[in-house]
Chains A and B, each alone.
Chain A
């Protein structure tokens, strides 16, 4: 079983729609959580950290459910420029980052 699991997609979504990704992690002692965005053949870039109470940044909302060990990312009013691979990342108790393989999102006009 992978330590951080994501649906690889691709998710094909029309522009303007709302899309949600989930990610599950296996280590209950994990300390912090992130969503990164990676464009094709480019480096990952931090999209947002995920806080226990949930947090929002514009059209993006992240939620953490520690009891069920999953993290979610919601994108509202999706734009063509949101097309990318979204990486779920968990920092474990040894401060090591554990990366999911990513979910590919394709926004269609």
Chain B
């Protein structure tokens, strides 16, 4: 089944403790991105990657890092999480950035930083 897999689904952590949220897709998509979703706001892009070893900042990159060493994986790293990073996170992929069709999303990671 074609899908984007995110882990973990839920995570509660303490301020300053490094964490990684994994994202993997099995569709051989070139384009992958991370979003956060907060109440009353649309999804906001954190980082995106157009292909292996090519990443760039989205609208809200502060406090996040990413890497794209393999085409299928695009982990999101929070080196020193803070409470304002408490949010619902989604990873997505599409064949290319300018694909006309929609994006496929992972099931989401609900992160709470205390």
Instruction: Of the listed stretches B11-19, B37-45, B61-69, B73-81, name the one at the interface; the rest are far from the partner chain.
Output: B37-45
- Looking at the assembled complex, report how far the CB atom of A90 sits from the nearest CB atom of chain B, in whole angstroms: 10
Count B-side interface residues using an 8 Å CB cutoff: 21
Query: Which chain A residues (92-109) contact chain B, with CB distance < 8 Å?
Result: 95-102
Q: How many A-B pairs fall under 8 Å by CB?
A: 45
Question: Quick one: which of B88, B90, B101 contacts A49, CB cutoff 8 A?
Answer: B101
The interface bits of chain B over 66-103 (1 if a CB of A lies within 8 angstroms of the residue's CB, else 0) are 00000000000000000000001010000001101111
Instruction: Of the listed stretches A10-18, A36-44, A60-68, A69-77, name the one at the interface; the rest are far from the partner chain.
Output: A36-44
Q: A4-B42, A8-B40, A101-B41 are in contact. Are A95 and B108 (CB under 8 A)?
A: no
The interface bits of chain B over 18-44 (1 if a CB of A lies within 8 angstroms of the residue's CB, else 0) are 000000000000000001000011111
- Looking at the assembled complex, report how far the CB atom of B74 sits from the nearest CB atom of chain A, in whole angstroms: 15
Is B107 engaged at the interface, CB distance under 8 Å to the other chain? yes
Question: Quick one: which of A41, A97, A99, A102 contacts B108, CB cutoff 8 A?
Answer: A41
Q: A98-B42, A99-B42, A102-B42 are in contact. Are A43 and B102 (CB under 8 A)?
A: no
**A101 to B108, alpha carbons, bound, how many Å?**
17
A: contact size bracket: 20 to 34
Asked if B42 contacts A101 (CB within 8 A), the reply is yes
| 7 nearest A-B pairs in the assembled complex, by CB-CB distance | A46-B102, A99-B42, A43-B105, A99-B43, A95-B97, A95-B98, A101-B42
Question: Given A36-B102, A41-B108, A100-B42, 20 other A-B contacts at CB below 8 A?
Answer: A2-B42, A4-B42, A8-B40, A34-B102, A42-B107, A43-B105, A43-B107, A43-B108, A44-B43, A44-B90, A46-B102, A49-B101, A87-B42, A87-B43, A95-B97, A95-B98, A96-B45, A97-B103, A99-B35, A101-B42
Interface residues in chain A, defined as those with a beta carbon under 8 Å from any beta carbon in chain B? 2, 4, 8, 32, 34, 36, 41-46, 49, 87, 95-102
